[in-house]
Amino acid sequence: MKQKVLLIAESLGGGLRKHVVQLIEGLDDEKFDVFLIHGTLSVDNVFQEKKKDLEKKAVLIECPHLVREINPSEDISAYNFISQWIKTNKPDVVHLHSSKAGVIGRMAAKRRGVKKVFYTPHAYSFQAKEFSKKKKALFIFIERFLSRYATTKTFNVSEGEKEAALQVNIDKPDKFQVIYNGLPEIELPTKKEARDILGLSQEAFIIGNNARLSEQKDPLTFVKIAKEVVKENSKALFVWVGDGPLQDEVEKYIDENNLQKNVKLLGFREDSELIVSAYDIFLLTSLYEGLPYAPIEALRAGVPVVATDVTGNREVVKNTVNGLLYKQNDIDQAASSIVCLQNDLMNIIDQYNLSMDYVDRFSIKKMMKQIKLEYL
């Protein structure tokens, strides 16, 4: 008999969207009937373009009340919507993705007596730097209550994320399981082909990032690092693929510091996982992460990574092996790491098979096998 699986996510963009889509595509038709309840305000173009194909694998259900921000009226409406759906359709498994869906969905699943309730935070809200101590304390209280009384198990995407939960006593260790984000093996363009696609110089030394221009991803630090590296290497080209709320602020910094020739904002691209092959180094400036897909995509393409030494990043990057870690906000250390890596780039690539590292640790087959075992 098939398992009826309900996935819930308030937003479908970036890494979260990628993860949810992977679940839909990877759950066997003969074993699972899959349903997805999702919000409508934060849905990226990739999901919209995949929607018709996804509808062949799952029933997609829009819930306009499921919004990212705290909104009591909408949150109550979303809870009622989800609770009624669960009551009517009686899923065997409910799997929540990110904090808002995690709160509303777990409350509804608990009320309706769902036997298996799983939660993937994709980075806890209390890890975010932008929130006050009081808000973080509230988030911790909510996570603690829901984990203990309304969750079968939490799937953490990194050991660091799991450790963050244990440090604030969210629940017992056996209520958490680390399941790394995974990627499929795909055919990638060559460096030359990728640069031709982007219209970038074949001679430039390219440092890139693929992410939203958001506070979490800290693009301002990216361009500040670029400013320092360009002093040492005028041919260095910094490329950011992605859009977001900080775009105007980043563009202003680029203009004020005359970095137009050395920093390019290429906007959102649906082929970001392919064009990462164009880079010599992938530079990740995140303030916090769960386990980011982008640097895993870089490793799959054989591109070493320079990243902030924060939760999630330090599990992708093996310092001095497949890249370098630098202290958050230490622009000088980041810049010197890039210069150092540039000078020793071929030795690193020759001595360590970056793409095989991705296969060993971050394959989608491994990720799906672990999740299916829990569902069943």
What predicted TM-score, i.e. pTM, was given to this entire model?
0.78
Higher pLDDT, 343 or 217: 217
Rg (CA), the chain: 21
Task: Band the pLDDT of 57: cuts 50, 70, 90.
Answer: very high
Containing structural domain, residue 17: 3-183+363-375
Residues 179 and 46 in one domain: yes
Residues 337 and 367 in one domain: no
Residues 177 and 248 in one domain: no
Q: Which residue, 268, 366, 311, is CA-closest to 48? A: 268
Instruction: Say yes or no to pLDDT of 153 above 90.
Output: yes
In CATH, what number is assigned to the domain containing residue 223?
3.40.50.2000
Give the range among 71-75, 152-156, 190-194 with minimum mean pLDDT.
71-75
Instruction: Say yes or no to pLDDT of 346 above 70.
Output: no
Contact 139, 124 (CB under 8 A): yes
Rounded CA-CA distance 339/14 in Å is 29
Residues 139 and 238 in one domain: no
Rounded CA-CA distance 275/189 in Å is 7
Per-residue pLDDT at 331: 94
Q: Could you tell me the two tokens for 172?
A: 């017992």
Higher pLDDT, 24 or 345: 24
Rounded CA-CA distance 169/191 in Å is 46
Q: Which residue, 164, 171, 22, is CA-closest to 97? A: 22
Residues 341 and 228 in one domain: yes
Per-residue pLDDT at 354: 67
Per-residue pLDDT at 348: 57
Residues 215 and 332 in one domain: yes
The rounded percent of the chain whose pLDDT value lies above 90 is: 57
Rounded CA-CA distance 361/14 in Å is 21
Number of domains the chain is built from:
2
Residues 165 and 293 in one domain: no
Higher pLDDT, 69 or 263: 263
- The packing angle between helices 354-362 and 293-300, to 10°, is 130
Residues 255 and 268 in one domain: yes
Rounded CA-CA distance 363/73 in Å is 41
pLDDT tens sequence across 60-113: 999 999 888 878 999 999 999 999 999 999 999 999 998 889 999 999 999 999
Residues 139 and 119 in one domain: yes
Task: Band the pLDDT of 360: cuts 50, 70, 90.
Answer: confident
φ/ψ (deg, to 5) at 202? -75, -20
Residues 88 and 219 in one domain: no
Residues 92 and 155 in one domain: yes
- Secondary structure, 3-state, 226-269: HHHHHHHCCCEEEEEEECCCCHHHHHHHHHHCCCCCCEEEEECC
Rounded CA-CA distance 57/79 in Å is 25
Residues 110 and 211 in one domain: no
Instruction: Say yes or no to pLDDT of 204 above 80.
Output: yes
